Amino acid sequence: MSSALQKTPSSRSPQSPADAATSTGSTSAIELHAVSKTFGDAGSVPSLRDIELEVAEAEFVAIVGASGCGKSTLLRIVGGLETATDGVVRVRHEDVRGPGPDRGVVFQDYGLFPWLSVRENIAYGPKQRRLPRAEVDEIADRFTEMVGLERVSAQFPSELSGGMQQRVAIARVLANDPAVLLMDEPFGALDSLTRLSMQTQLRQLCSDLGCTVLFVTHSVEEAVVLADRVVVMAGGPSHGTAGHIRTVVPVDLGFPRDITEPGFNEIKRVLLAEIFAEQSAQDVA
């Protein structure tokens, strides 16, 4: 990614949950207001309670937190794969009432069609939208090239490495031109070197395409590598309290990011302190 992207001034101080509702841009791609989710009967501990968050157009927001705090549940609600018990969920000012082509979802499981080639997997969505053949071919070629898989475009998923398969999965989603990209631990199964490479490629793709991304990860370092802001979640039924946003930390570093830079590690320390402070409070309770 171009080194022309400059650092922007910020205090790096965590924001309060209330401040988290304000996105970094004037136009919000994702809006969550007073969102709650309860599984089971009315007496159950809510999985999520009073979530307030806005994500701006072309903003990359990562979500971190301990297992069971509701990160994936929140992502699934935005994707329309789960229904909020209470609250308002909007994508580009339209209420979310179920899955839709305006939201592309990438999971840790690649979910590729094993009987289709790389190029055919990428072309699948545009074909289903009944676009003209020439346009389907142009889209498939463009995204195959964009993720650097031209040389293996005729191969099948079983013939690819894990990193290559995940690149196909990302390209297949982007080929559908979603308004927002929702990613749930997409690199969790990859080795560390492949993961670093995929992080760089994803951030470059998002910069080139102007993607809006909501990205769930257990890795604090990955969140700082990728995101414009990092949401720290806490709680969850297994911890005896509803999942909630504890704080939001802006990442005021330019790209590409250097994980050895003092500023990078300062932000990591802030995030880890927030996560461990919440865990300590729950242990005491």
Amino acid at 250: P
Domains and CATH numbers, the chain: 19-102+180-252 (3.40.50.300), 105-177 (no CATH)
For residue 283, what pLDDT is reported? 57
Mention every residue, 6+ apart, whose C-beta is less than 8 A from residue 126: 135, 136, 139, 140, 175, 176
d(CA 144, CA 120): 10
For residue 77, what pLDDT is reported? 97
For residue 10, what pLDDT is reported? 40
Question: What is the 3-class SS of the chain, one letter each residue?
Answer: CCCCCCCCCCCCCCECCCHHHCCCCCCEEEEEEEEEECCCCCCCCCCEEEEEEEEECCCEEEEEECCCCCHHHHHHHHHCCCCCCEEEEEECCEECCCCCCCEEEEECCCCCCCCCCHHHHHHHHHHHCCCCHHHHHHHHHHHHHHCCCHHHCCCCHHHCCHHHHHHHHHHHHHCCCCCEEEEECCCCCCCHHHHHHHHHHHHHHHHHHCCEEEEECCCHHHHHHHCCEEEEEEEEHHHCEEEEEEEEEECCCCCCCCCCCHHHHHHHHHHHHHHHHHHHHHHHC
For residue 112, what pLDDT is reported? 92
Return the sign of the alpha-carbon dihedral for residues 135, 136, 139, 141: negative
Mention every residue, 6+ apart, whose C-beta is less than 8 A from residue 96: 77, 78, 80, 89, 90, 103
For residue 107, what pLDDT is reported? 87
Calculate the alpha carbon distances from 91 to 29, 32, 119, 217 in Å.
Answer: 5, 9, 29, 21
Return averaged pLDDT per consecutive 10 residues of the chain, 285 residues in all: 34 57 71 93 80 96 94 96 95 94 88 94 93 95 92 95 91 92 90 88 89 95 97 88 94 92 96 83 55
d(CA 107, CA 109): 5
For residue 43, what pLDDT is reported? 60
